[in-house]
Amino acid sequence: MMAPPLKLGIAGLGTVGAELVRLLRANRDQLGGRCGRLIHIAGVCARDRGRGRGVDLSGYAWFDDPVTLATERKVDVFVELIGGEEGAARASVEAALGAGTHVVTANKALLATHGAALAAMAEQSGVALNYEAAVAAAIPVVKVLREGLAGNRMTRVSGILNGTCNYILTVMEREQREFDDVLAEAQALGYAEADPEFDIGGHDTAHKLAILTSLAFATRPALGDVYIEGITKVTLHDIRAVDQLGYRIKLLGVAQDTGNGIEQRVHPTLVSKSSPIADVGGAFNAIVIEADAAGSLMLEGQGAGAAPTVSAVISDIVDIACGGKRAVFGTQASDLATYQRARMRAHEGGYYIGLKAHDRPGAVAGIAKAMADQSISLESIIQRADPDEAGDVAPDGESRSMPVALVTHETNEAAIRTALETIRADGHIAEPPHMIRIEQI
Amino acid sequence: MMAPPLKLGIAGLGTVGAELVRLLRANRDQLGGRCGRLIHIAGVCARDRGRGRGVDLSGYAWFDDPVTLATERKVDVFVELIGGEEGAARASVEAALGAGTHVVTANKALLATHGAALAAMAEQSGVALNYEAAVAAAIPVVKVLREGLAGNRMTRVSGILNGTCNYILTVMEREQREFDDVLAEAQALGYAEADPEFDIGGHDTAHKLAILTSLAFATRPALGDVYIEGITKVTLHDIRAVDQLGYRIKLLGVAQDTGNGIEQRVHPTLVSKSSPIADVGGAFNAIVIEADAAGSLMLEGQGAGAAPTVSAVISDIVDIACGGKRAVFGTQASDLATYQRARMRAHEGGYYIGLKAHDRPGAVAGIAKAMADQSISLESIIQRADPDEAGDVAPDGESRSMPVALVTHETNEAAIRTALETIRADGHIAEPPHMIRIEQI
């Protein structure tokens, strides 16, 4: 005998909400067979009732106000697809949790900003707060960290978490084109937003990283403590230079337990071309998790789009239908630690430095000395540019500049910053250096 | 307030069992925080009580008989790490399920052989039967298929599921060595068993594939219907020839819904060097899942070893500690369909054919005609061997043979077999052809 159906209230009927309704209907019996109970839609809610959505909503109770839907007594699970960390999304999720209604959301901003408080509310009410779709869409990384690796201590989580950035970097390399050019094309094709700053500035990645950090290290989400550099300064010259050295540039979000606090950083990153994450191209996302028992685990898949997002949302709904109780961030909310930031100046790793040195006696020697004075040893140095990019003549005609690419052995960020400041102050370089961190994955 | 502890009975104290005891003890508090209850060991069982295992077992009740442990009233979860599809493993798992005790097992043979009956028993008793460690150790592929992709219809699951085979193929390519040579070294180093047939013959992969097929397609496990070819006939010559054509050889297990039954096949496979699975080297495992909503998802990680296996076992235990009820194969046992085999003769795909043609007029023309007569069109043909492998002089000195490598466009297995039989019967080739299927992943 089947258990009574699980009744959903769905707030937000954009492309994701409409696809969710469509798939719940198309796969009704299959989903019923998963847990021995059917999944029903008890009500839906959006701002504009009249808008065409390509899916028949006439059979469902309509709500104008998501808070009303969230607290409607016959709703077992409130599905929040409104978006944004404040406003209707926050109000309705809080109302649902307060009313003892399970919540499924795709809202990364809400979780990254208010996750700890929402987790406490959910546990207080004894309900689920599931958010698989908030990070990397179809890739079940929340489930893998929260459940699949429950027996592990995580040491590092690194991810390509923004498809727009990965698409741009992939096309820059594959087609040997400059950033602005590829961005403009991506915008024209709809792969990048008209206002692309949230993606290319690294902020989208930072939101997702803040959630992954909490899951991996049992800390309260600390979005404000994420170090963020976007991809806007990555040049084709950098991509060519690192290619010669065996690397590729990816925008990574990295959360790492340093033993002296946890680093959360988002920045363009050199990864060895022999590492699996280097081969993740186009709009795909990937996450590499390093853990004591499991070793290294990589998940790669569709990180955006309506259907991949709905795949995650339905998984969250089915988890509730099947019962069981998981702590929101994998650990009871009251046991989550306050995030202890590892300072970026203490970051240890290798670095790529792209410089335009003045082509005159002593410039390279001065650069090398500034590095040596900080005890930075070099893995490689390329002083000659590739033929397409011969040294530039300065506007005043006085001196030519010559590209120099350096890769350091492991050092720390304070030493690098000091060395680069010295190089700049000594007048050896014609423009600000490009410094890109290397990650051994 | 914490719920009462979850009490385990652990049967089988080899390297996995000992590592499980060690990790449960080391991570006691972290695991307690996952679900708000501690995990205790109520009893352990193995054949030889006196054997040193590097872990202190003196605090746990000892059982000589796993069936007694499995039915011990104070045991909530019976953890079966004995192995084998019959004998003590089967008897004790059946006893536990019959007694209403949850079961966690790492036993692929048991699940692949008796999975449907055990699933029915588990559901009858209302208990869990979890087996994440049975497939690909640390890679949570059972959870991903059973839960993470619950909203999807799967179309194909392909995996590198045996680390020994992948290690051998990787070393053959990387070090340009022959199969026997690499196998002998792998045995000497302990990477391959003294009797390697279960691995290199493809049987280990077939067991895991049978389980994945059930999870992906909601069918009862049908190990006996898996088509199996091992890697023993893969030669360095094949590896070199396909390398020139842009491919790499992997032992894959593939389960695919053809619309006319489900293929389950294990065989050496050509995968494009540009596909992510081609880069999975050494002893790593990887699974690519293709699904309607999620798109393509790849999971890569440690597929063997004590700690990676224990990572999966603990995940299964924590799932039970947190409650909830999942169907054993993702769908209620009574709803699992009988497996409908797609015949291998109907398999559609591209093929690589490696031949040693007699070096005389008409041989290559005859080969090409035999293919054309079966409406097989060729994507590429290489008639000249690489310099290291000039044509052989036949022992009788009569004729030389010349390597020919063909890659076909999509065709079907019946056509290929007919063409190869014709080529052989016409006397165009000096030794049996090497036929390797191509998978577009």
Q: Which residue of A has its CA nearest to B136?
A: A294
Question: Percentage of residues in chain A with pLDDT exceeding 90?
Answer: 89
Residue B143 with chain A: CB contacts under 8 Å: 140, 143-144, 147-148
Q: Which residue of A has its CA nearest to B139?
A: A297
Question: Percentage of residues in chain B with pLDDT exceeding 70?
Answer: 96
Of B149, B308, B324, the CB nearest to A323: B324
In the beta sheet, which residues pair with residue A63?
A45
Question: A387 pLDDT exceeds 60?
Answer: no
Of A183-187, A389-393, B371-375, B424-428, least confident by mean pLDDT is A389-393
Nearest CA to B171 among B96, B249, B103? B249
pLDDT for the residue numbered A399: 60
Of B149, B301, B305, the CB nearest to A297: B301
Secondary structure (H, E, C), chain A:
CCCCCEEEEEECCCHHHHHHHHHHHHCHHHHHHHHCCCEEEEEEECCCCCCCCCCCCCCCEEECCHHHHHCCCCCCEEEECCCCCCHHHHHHHHHHHHCCCEEEECCHHHHHHHHHHHHHHHHHHCCCEECHHHCCCCCCHHHHHHHHCCCCCEEEEEEECCHHHHHHHHHHHHHCCCHHHHHHHHHHHCCCCCCCHHHHCCHHHHHHHHHHHHHHHCECCCHHHCEECCCCCCCHHHHHHHHHCCEEEEEEEEEEECCCCEEEEEEEEEEECCCHHHHCCCCEEEEEEEECCCEEEEEEEECCCHHHHHHHHHHHHHHHHCCCCCCCCCCCHHHCECCCECCHHHCEEEEEEEEEEECCCCHHHHHHHHHHHCCCCEEEEECCCCHHHCCCECCCCCCEEEEEEEEECCEEHHHHHHHHHHHHHCCCECCCCEEEEECCC
Q: Which residue of B has its CA nearest to A294?
A: B308
Using the beta-carbon criterion (under 8 Å), do B151 and A310 form an inter-chain contact? Answer: yes
pLDDT tens digits, B91-114: 999 999 999 999 999 999 999 999
Residue B322 with chain A: CB contacts under 8 Å: 324-326
Of A119-128, B184-193, B307-316, B389-398, least confident by mean pLDDT is B389-398
Q: Which class for A311: exposed (0-12), middle (13-18), buried (19 or more C-beta within 10 A)? A: buried
pLDDT for the residue numbered A396: 54
pLDDT for the residue numbered A382: 87
Nearest CA to A320 among A1, A91, A55, A3? A3
Distance from CA of B80 to the nearest CA of A (A): 18
Greatest C-alpha distance within chain A: 87
The rounded distance, in Å, linking the Cα atoms of B120 and A242 is 57
Distance from CA of B152 to the nearest CA of A (A): 7
Using the beta-carbon criterion (under 8 Å), do B153 and A30 form an inter-chain contact? Answer: yes
Using the beta-carbon criterion (under 8 Å), do B34 and A327 form an inter-chain contact? Answer: yes
Question: Percentage of residues in chain A with pLDDT exceeding 70?
Answer: 96
**Pairing mode of beta strands B400-408, A61-63:** unpaired
Which residues, 6+ apart, have CB-to-CB distance to B47 below 8 Å? none
The catalytic position among B108, B143, B208, B250 is: B208
pLDDT for the residue numbered A388: 52
pLDDT for the residue numbered A393: 52
The rounded distance, in Å, linking the Cα atoms of A415 and A376 is 7
pLDDT for the residue numbered A184: 97
In the beta sheet, which residues pair with residue B12?
none
How much is the mean pLDDT over chain B?
94
Question: Active-site residue A273, yes or no?
Answer: no
Question: A394 pLDDT exceeds 70?
Answer: no
pLDDT for the residue numbered A154: 97
Q: How far are the Cα atoms of A383, B18, B122 from residue B72, in angstroms, in the given order?
A: 73, 21, 17
The secondary structure element, H or E, covering residue B257 is strand B247-257
Using the beta-carbon criterion (under 8 Å), do A144 and B149 form an inter-chain contact? Answer: no
Which residues, 6+ apart, have CB-to-CB distance to B267 below 8 Å? B202, B227, B228, B229, B251, B252, B436, B437
Interface test with B, best of A19, A131, A325, A328 (most B CBs within 10 A): A325
Interface test with A, best of B152, B219, B277 (most A CBs within 10 A): B152
pLDDT tens digits, A227-243: 999 999 999 999 999 99
Using the beta-carbon criterion (under 8 Å), do B150 and A292 form an inter-chain contact? Answer: no
The rounded distance, in Å, linking the Cα atoms of B11 and B67 is 9
Q: Which residue of B has its CA nearest to A289?
A: B301
Using the beta-carbon criterion (under 8 Å), do A148 and B143 form an inter-chain contact? Answer: yes
The secondary structure element, H or E, covering residue B402 is strand B400-408
Residue B23 with chain A: CB contacts under 8 Å: 151, 293
Which residues, 6+ apart, have CB-to-CB distance to A316 below 8 Å? A104, A128, A130, A131, A132, A133
* Mean pLDDT along residues B371-395: 74
Question: B353 pLDDT exceeds 90?
Answer: yes
**CA triple A61-A67-A72, angle to 5 deg:** 50
Question: B302 pLDDT exceeds 60?
Answer: yes
Of A294, A302, A305, the CB nearest to B302: A294
Interface test with B, best of A2, A275, A299, A335 (most B CBs within 10 A): A299
* Mean pLDDT along residues B309-322: 97
Phi first, then psi: give them for residue A344, nearest 5 degrees: -60, -35
pLDDT tens digits, A140-170: 999 999 999 999 999 999 999 999 999 999 9
Using the beta-carbon criterion (under 8 Å), do B335 and A296 form an inter-chain contact? Answer: no
Three-class SS state of B311: helix
Of A149, A280, A308, the CB nearest to B294: A308
Confidence tier at A367 by pLDDT (50, 70, 90): very high
Which residues, 6+ apart, have CB-to-CB distance to B89 below 8 Å? B66, B80, B82, B83, B105, B107, B110
Using the beta-carbon criterion (under 8 Å), do B140 and A153 form an inter-chain contact? Answer: no
Distance from CA of B223 to the nearest CA of A (A): 23
Using the beta-carbon criterion (under 8 Å), do B322 and A322 form an inter-chain contact? Answer: no
* Mean pLDDT along residues A31-58: 92
Residue A315 with chain B: CB contacts under 8 Å: 147-151
Residue B296 with chain A: CB contacts under 8 Å: 301-302
Q: What is the ipTM of this complex?
A: 0.95
The catalytic position among A143, A208, A250, A356 is: A208
Residue B148 with chain A: CB contacts under 8 Å: 132, 140, 143-144, 315
Using the beta-carbon criterion (under 8 Å), do A315 and B140 form an inter-chain contact? Answer: no
Interface test with B, best of A23, A29, A298 (most B CBs within 10 A): A298
pLDDT for the residue numbered B401: 86
- Whether the CA torsion A192, A193, A199, A205 is positive or negative: it is negative
Using the beta-carbon criterion (under 8 Å), do A331 and B33 form an inter-chain contact? Answer: yes
Distance from CA of B383 to the nearest CA of A (A): 32
pLDDT tens digits, B56-78: 999 999 999 999 999 999 999 99
pLDDT tens digits, B25-55: 999 999 998 888 999 999 999 999 888 899 9
Distance from CA of A331 to the nearest CA of B (A): 5
Question: B250 pLDDT exceeds 80?
Answer: yes
Confidence tier at B396 by pLDDT (50, 70, 90): low
